[in-house]
């Protein structure tokens, strides 16, 4: 698999710099997280120690806690301004800022997920310029994935297929939601995942809560079980949902399952470059509305996926953004009947010239466990 090289990073920085120039932004500051990894090729573990990537039209500087400096040097050639625990970050931050030689700091763009204490340090050191969120620059960063990124997302999706298989196998009367979640978690870790993002197992009436947290409920005959899992593999994320029924499902459940499956298929079939994100949501929603489930589909159809589990593009009504080749997102229609059951079928697709290519490969037929 190709790695993310310096050329790719340079391209990303030039996209950001063009957007900064358009919005009169002199410095962009990014904290440890997915955006730092995207723009620097590395991101250290996020904690309370001040760590900032500072970007101007022509320069880059890193403020780094001293304990992480050696590791940064093995990943990047960026100029580092380090600080030790006992001295605090102020001197390093001021040195980094003055190295950037910005004559007059008019506007500062900050990473949308930056900790408040990092921002307060920045405000103090820069004298309080106008601050705007990085997202407001509208730079098309991370939206369309490169072939190297798509290869990583494909590998992550294949890994999620295998972990889902393990979770489905673990489903049987008498085991808890937490035990099924553990089966998925273990499969991910033994398969080489960086870490597990979430293992959501919702059984029986819990399956009617779209974001139920797996607990100690014991699976029993008559339960619908929604399994929604995802992990990070080589920094890129996976996300897949399948449904298991313990014992023979009643006709009302089967009818709803068929409708959700058709909604998933219709939305994936509607994907192609040039159509809007909203039209994909519409394609899924139309199927569920026609089947009489308009009131039960209570969330958007999907979300972008990449370095983050949830990122643009948002596949929902009102988002008139046209789809482009290389965008990767989830298609996850669902229906929820409070007190009874829920159903959601989620796949990850990449937009190609000829339509959607589905990265998740696991069979979508309902799994019935005796």
- Smallest distance from the beta carbon of 76 to Zn ion, in angstroms? 31
Give me the least distance between CB of 180 and Zn ion, in Å please. Answer: 15
Instruction: Decide if 200 contacts 228 (C-beta within 8 A).
Output: yes
Q: Say how far apart CA 146 and CA 36 lie, in whole Å.
A: 17
Residues 208-247 that bind Zn ion (CB under 5 A): 228, 239, 241
Q: Which two tokens stand for residue 349?
A: 């697709």
Burial zone of 8 (CB within 10 Å; 0-12 exposed, 13-18 middle, 19+ buried): middle
Least distance between Zn ion and beta carbon 344 (Å): 8
- Taking the complex as a whole, how short is the minimal distance between the CB of residue 257 and Zn ion, in angstroms? 17
List binders of Zn ion among 345-364 (CB under 5 A). Answer: 346
Query: Measured from the CB atom, is 223 or 346 closer to Zn ion?
Result: 346
**Least separation in angstroms between CB 184 and Zn ion:** 12
Nearer to Zn ion, 62 or 227 (CB): 227
Is 44 or 232 the residue whose CB approaches Zn ion more closely? 232
Return d(Cα 174, Cα 196) in angstroms, integer: 25
| Minimum CB distance to Zn ion smaller for 68 or for 241 | 241
**In whole angstroms, how close is the CB of 94 to Zn ion at the nearest point?**
42
Closest distance to Zn ion from the beta carbon of 16 (Å): 27
Question: Do you find a cis peptide bond into 313, omega within 30 degrees of 0?
Answer: yes
By C-beta, is 265 or 347 nearer to Zn ion?
Answer: 347
Would you count residue 56 as binding Zn ion (CB under 5 A)? no
d(CA 360, CA 300): 19
Please say which residue, 109 or 305, places its beta carbon nearer to Zn ion. Answer: 305
Q: Which is nearer to Zn ion, 214 or 330 (CB)?
A: 330
* Cα–Cα distance for residue pair 124/129, rounded to 1 Å: 10
Q: What six digits make up the tokens of 311?
A: 């990122």
Burial letters 339-363, b for 16+ CB under 10 A, else e: eebbbbbbbbbbbeeeebebbbebe
Binding mask 4-43 for Zn ion (x = CB under 5 A): ----------------------------------------
Rg for the chain, CA atoms, rounded: 23
Q: Which is nearer to Zn ion, 329 or 341 (CB)?
A: 329
Number of residues that bind Zn ion (CB under 5 A): 5
Please return the burial class of 274, using the count of CB atoms within 10 Å of its CB with bins 0-12, 13-18 and 19+.
exposed
Q: Which of residues 271-330 bind Zn ion (CB under 5 A)?
A: 330
Residues 327-346, interacting with Zn ion (CB under 5 A): 330, 346
Please say which residue, 49 or 303, places its beta carbon nearer to Zn ion.
303
CB of 125 to Zn ion, least distance (A): 38
Residue-by-residue DSSP string for 107-156? EEEE-TT--HHHHHHHHHHHT--EEEEGGGG----SSS--HHHHHHHHHH
Burial-class residue 173 by CB neighbours within 10 Å (0-12, 13-18, 19+). Answer: middle
Residues found in the chain? 370
Report, in Å, the least distance between residue 160 CB and Zn ion.
9
**Could you tell me the CA-to-CA distances from 236 to 142, 162, 163, 348 in Å, in that order?**
12, 16, 16, 13
Binding-site ranges for Zn ion (CB under 5 A): 228, 239, 241, 330, 346
């Amino acid at each position: 698999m190709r790695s993310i090289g310096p050329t790719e990073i340079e391209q990303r920085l030039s996209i950001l710099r063009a957007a900064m120039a358009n919005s009169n932004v002199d410095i962009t500051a990014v904290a440890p997280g997915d955006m730092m990894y995207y723009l620097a090729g590395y991101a250290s573990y996020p904690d309370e120690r001040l760590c900032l990537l500072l970007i101007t039209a022509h320069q880059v500087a890193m403020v780094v806690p001293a304990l992480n400096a050696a590791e940064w040097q093995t990943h990047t050639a960026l100029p580092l301004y380090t600080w030790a625990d006992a001295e605090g970050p102020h001197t390093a931050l001021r040195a980094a800022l003055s190295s950037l030689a910005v004559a007059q700091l008019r506007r500062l763009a900050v990473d949308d997920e930056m900790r408040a204490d990092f921002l307060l340090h920045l405000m103090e050191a820069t004298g309080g310029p106008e601050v705007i969120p990085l997202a407001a620059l509208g730079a098309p960063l991370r939206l369309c994935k490169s072939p190297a990124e798509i290869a990583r997302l494909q590998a992550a999706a294949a890994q999620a297929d295998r972990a889902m298989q393990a979770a489905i196998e673990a489903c049987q009367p008498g085991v808890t939601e937490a035990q099924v979640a553990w089966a998925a978690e273990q499969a991910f870790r033994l398969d080489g995942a960086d870490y597990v993002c979430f293992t959501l197992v919702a059984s029986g009436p819990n399956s009617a809560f779209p974001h139920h947290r797996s607990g100690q409920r014991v699976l029993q005959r008559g339960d619908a079980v929604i399994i929604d899992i995802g992990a990070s593999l080589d920094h890129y994320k996976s996300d897949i949902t399948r449904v298991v029924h313990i014992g023979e499902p009643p006709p009302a459940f089967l009818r709803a399952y068929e409708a959700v499956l058709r909604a998933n298929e219709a939305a994936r079939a509607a994907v192609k470059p040039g159509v809007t994100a909203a039209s994909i949501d519409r394609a899924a929603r139309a199927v569920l509305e026609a089947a009489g489930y308009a009131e039960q589909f209570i969330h958007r159809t999907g979300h972008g996926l990449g370095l983050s589990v949830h990122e643009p593009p948002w596949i929902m009504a009102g988002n008139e953004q046209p789809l482009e080749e290389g965008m990767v997102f989830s298609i996850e229609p669902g229906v929820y009947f409070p007190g009874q059951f829920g159903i959601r079928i989620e796949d990850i697709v990449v937009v190609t010239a000829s339509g959607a290519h589905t990265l998740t490969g696991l069979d979508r037929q309902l799994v019935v466990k005796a």
